[in-house]
A and B are shown apart, each in its own frame.
Chain A
């Protein structure tokens, strides 16, 4: 009878935990993912005779879109929802940007990029507002929104095309052997956008809402407003993902399946990155590192001389196994 883990009576005062324990509990997962990434990069390094700036740039710039989408998804998941429209939003931003940026100078192109990100923020905020006002679960609202956004993308650009300014490309994702721009951009977004947000009142409110919506409401957090702001921030990241895609590929691609695949991969990166789907925990660094792990797998398989199609199998198994291990690690913690 007393074996129920959630006995309410006689809870002892929590003992203050040491700095090391706290670090392990809060950042342990991220450190784990970082180690995994380190191993994968070293593996790749040992596969290629001339591992240099060219390779690194390929990895960083090629993963940037997924990393940004993982950030967008994380913000929503931390706030207690899930966003199945991030991929479609990325495709829409990509199409608008590629259409408008074609044969423009650097100045206008930068302005267009800012405008596109702003549009993505407004649209995502609108989706969030609908989810909050209607009371329809996020997963349904964003599912429907993903149809609408992919349709809009097809209206903007009915077939692959468009273009951008080469100097803008260089600025955002670097030339063929410059890994620095893409890396710096990712780091800057994490440090200058996410970190201040996380530490602000709004950030704390976001975690509170994701952790327990009712308790947050009773503590005076404006739940609806916080959720909408989380959507706006996610819109910023997915809009950026669209701009980066434009810069990386130099064109726009309106196929809806690209968005759907990207959305699902972003969910995988979020979970691998240690953000609990229940909401209220995790950071953005973990999912970014996980995104890199996920996109290194096909390259590694190719390097091993395997059929790269096994990469899909490996990716799926890794996601499942890591989450299983995570579940096993968390069970003793929960029942304590």
Chain B
């Protein structure tokens, strides 16, 4: 709006940032990392880098779910419950060997995503409500399964392969899970930019009516998005369990809002059609470093929460300011 009256140099500068939000985010990340490093010098060591990447990975994969859904104008509030459920199933069935256990965990994601996708795509249920209801159903299923001689009762044992993948070190500052993360990121960035489905995802989020008139089968796009979202969520759940070395029915719940925040900070519009996974990666790294900084400051939990909220808000505000991408 006000960009029209600004002088051309500023406008050009701003346009560059709009086109490449990753530059600004990268700058924020570097500054934040240095500031945190001053408080906690350990962060500059190989081990510090490793632990940052290690913790950012599952958050970034959860945020990938949100990025995909938000690009279509939706949101997925059932990701964390899917993650918990999948991790629990894998640990519970680990006696049957890693292939079966991991297969069952991903099957959980596939089932949840299919139901979500059919609800949102075919029955046009608002995604917020559909996934909220799904989260509620999953919470109930997990709780019921755990009670007495339910299907999830019995011993849980973490798959050794998960522990290796999720918390092992490849070399120096590179944790094993970075490889997995890099694969996911490459697939998403390439897929969103270069494939038909990727473009359809942006198009559906930008203007569903035009999409329908252009012959895009919107329900198929949405189904694919929610299935991918739930599969990514189960993957993130497995990684979380590998890092923490345990499983719990509400293990990842605290990561729901940060995963949305990571996508938002990364410049993906919650209104759909704008954004991408590159920004989300940086958003997840920023939040992880921020968390580290707040922990290093040795403040109370209360103060940390307040700062966290304020910084997320400030980043979102600055982003909207710079790009002029205001909500309607």
Does B305 belong to the interface (CB within 8 Å)?
Answer: yes
Bound complex: CA of A251 vs CA of B143, how far in Å?
28
B261 interface neighbour in A144, A151, A213, A331, Cβ under 8 Å = A144
- A-contacting 9-mer, from B95-103, B222-230, B309-317: B309-317
B271: which A residues are within 8 A, CB to CB?
137
A141 interface neighbour in B133, B147, B306, B313, Cβ under 8 Å = B313
Chain A 303-333 interface mask (CB, 8 Å, partner B; 1/0): 0000101111111110110011001100100
Question: Which B residues from 271 to 328 make CB contacts under 8 A with A?
Answer: 271, 300-310, 312-313, 316-317, 320-321, 326-328
In the complex, the answer to whether A140 meets B213 with C-beta atoms within 8 Å is no
B309: which A residues are within 8 A, CB to CB?
144-149, 151
Does B77 belong to the interface (CB within 8 Å)?
Answer: yes
B132: which A residues are within 8 A, CB to CB?
264, 267-268, 316, 319
Bound complex: CA of A83 vs CA of B141, how far in Å?
28
Give the Cβ gap from A196 to chain B, nearest Cβ, in Å: 30
Does B193 belong to the interface (CB within 8 Å)?
Answer: no
- B-contacting 9-mer, from A12-20, A99-107, A128-136: A128-136
Does B257 belong to the interface (CB within 8 Å)?
Answer: yes
A309: which B residues are within 8 A, CB to CB?
140, 143-144, 147
In the complex, the answer to whether A268 meets B133 with C-beta atoms within 8 Å is yes
- A-contacting 9-mer, from B43-51, B83-91, B121-129: B121-129
In the complex, the answer to whether B304 meets A151 with C-beta atoms within 8 Å is yes
Does B58 belong to the interface (CB within 8 Å)?
Answer: no
In the complex, the answer to whether B260 meets A312 with C-beta atoms within 8 Å is no
B264: which A residues are within 8 A, CB to CB?
140, 143
A213: which B residues are within 8 A, CB to CB?
328
Contact A136 B317, CB 8 Å, known A268-B129, A310-B144, A324-B123:
yes
A137: which B residues are within 8 A, CB to CB?
269-271, 327
Bound complex: CA of A311 vs CA of B75, how far in Å?
24
Question: Which A residues from 259 to 281 make CB contacts under 8 A with B?
Answer: 260, 264, 267-268, 271, 277
When C-beta atoms are compared, the residue in chain B nearest to A127 turns out to be: B313
A154: which B residues are within 8 A, CB to CB?
300-302, 305
Give the Cβ gap from A89 to chain B, nearest Cβ, in Å: 13
In the complex, the answer to whether A144 meets B133 with C-beta atoms within 8 Å is no
B310 interface neighbour in A148, A323, A327, Cβ under 8 Å = A148
Give the Cβ gap from B80 to chain A, nearest Cβ, in Å: 11
Q: Which of B144, B300, B303, B310 has the most CB of A within 10 A?
A: B144
In the complex, the answer to whether B302 meets A139 with C-beta atoms within 8 Å is no
Give the Cβ gap from B145 to chain A, nearest Cβ, in Å: 9
In the complex, the answer to whether B139 meets A312 with C-beta atoms within 8 Å is yes
A144 interface neighbour in B129, B301, B313, Cβ under 8 Å = B313
A324: which B residues are within 8 A, CB to CB?
119, 123, 125
Chain B interfacial residues counted at CB < 8 A: 52
A136 interface neighbour in B124, B133, B310, B320, Cβ under 8 Å = B320
When C-beta atoms are compared, the residue in chain A nearest to B125 turns out to be: A323
Bound complex: CA of A154 vs CA of B300, how far in Å?
9
Does A335 belong to the interface (CB within 8 Å)?
Answer: no
A277 interface neighbour in B129, B147, B310, B317, Cβ under 8 Å = B129
In the complex, the answer to whether A139 meets B270 with C-beta atoms within 8 Å is yes
Does B178 belong to the interface (CB within 8 Å)?
Answer: no
A149: which B residues are within 8 A, CB to CB?
309
B321: which A residues are within 8 A, CB to CB?
134
In the complex, the answer to whether A315 meets B123 with C-beta atoms within 8 Å is no
29 CB contacts below 8 A, A to B, read A136-B313, A136-B317, A137-B270, A137-B271, A140-B264, A141-B313, A141-B316, A143-B264, A145-B309, A146-B257, A146-B309, A147-B306, A148-B310, A150-B305, A154-B305, A257-B253, A264-B77, A268-B136, A310-B144, A313-B141, A313-B144, A315-B133, A316-B132, A316-B137, A316-B140, A320-B137, A323-B125, A324-B123, A327-B124
Interface residues, chain A, CB within 8 Å of chain B? Answer: 4, 82, 130, 134-141, 143-155, 158, 213-214, 256-257, 260, 264, 267-268, 271, 277, 307, 309-317, 319-320, 323-324, 327-328, 331
7 tightest A-B CB contacts, nearest first = A147-B309, A312-B140, A316-B136, A151-B305, A154-B302, A313-B140, A135-B326
Given contact pairs A141-B316, A151-B309, A323-B126, a sample of 20 additional A-B residue pairs in the complex whose CB atoms are under 8 Å apart? A82-B128, A134-B321, A137-B327, A138-B327, A140-B264, A147-B257, A148-B305, A154-B305, A155-B306, A213-B328, A257-B253, A267-B128, A277-B126, A307-B147, A310-B144, A312-B140, A320-B119, A320-B137, A324-B119, A324-B125
